[in-house]
A and B are shown apart, each in its own frame.
Chain A
Amino acid sequence: GEDVEQSLFLSVREGDSSVINCTYTDSSSTYLYWYKQEPGAGLQLLTYIFSNMDMKQDQRLTVLLNKKDKHLSLRIADTQTGDSAIYFCAERAPFGNEKLTFGTGTRLTIIP
C-alpha cells in the first residue's frame, strides 16, 4: 500500500535555507504536494509538482522530485519566522482513485 514518510522535526536558523524531505512508495503517483499548516489552522496547499517534472521553483520555494528514489523535497530559501509551521507531503493516486496519502508532517521551527 501507499506510505509517505517524513521526519517529525526540523530546526533552522532565520535566514538559512530549510530543506524538508519526504519519501513515498507509490511509483504511479500523478501529483505530489506540499501543504502547510500554521498553528490553529487547517492545511493550505503550498505547492505541487506533476510526476513528469523533476523540479519546480516558485519564489522562495523549490521542489525537487526524484522518481527513481521516490524522494520529494521542499527547499525554502531565506527562511523567515513566518515559515514556522507543519509541512505535509502528500501523494496522489492515479486517475480513477485520486485520494491523497499524507505523511506525518514535519514541524519546522525557526531559530532567531
Chain B
Amino acid sequence: AQSVTQPDIHITVSEGASLELRCNYSYGATPYLFWYVQSPGQGLQLLLKYFSGDTLVQGIKGFEAEFKRSQSSFNLRKPSVHWSDAAEYFCAVEGGQGNLIFGKGTKLSVKP
C-alpha cells in the first residue's frame, strides 16, 4: 500500500538558515508527489508538485524539491528561511484511486 513518511515531527531553524524537510514514499509505480503548507488555523496550500520529467521542481515562496527514485524521497528545500515560513508542511502522494495520501506533517519553527 502507498504510504508517506515524514521522519521529523518538529524542526527549528534560524531565520536566514537553509531548510530541508524530509519525505519518503512507498509507491509501486511512478509517483505523483506534492508538498503542501498549512499556516495555523488555515487550509492547505500547494507549494509544488512532481509528475514526471526534471527531478528538481520549483514551487512558490522560493521552495524547491528533488525527486530521487533510488531513495524513494522527495525532500523539500529552501536556501534561506523567513519568519513567515513557520507553518506545518505536508508531503503527499497520489494514491491512484482518486485520493491523496498524506504524511503526518513536519512543524517548522523559525528562530529570530
Q: Do A and B bind each other?
A: no
Q: Which positions in A face B, CB cutoff 8 Å?
A: none
Q: Which residues of B contact A (CB under 8 A)?
A: none
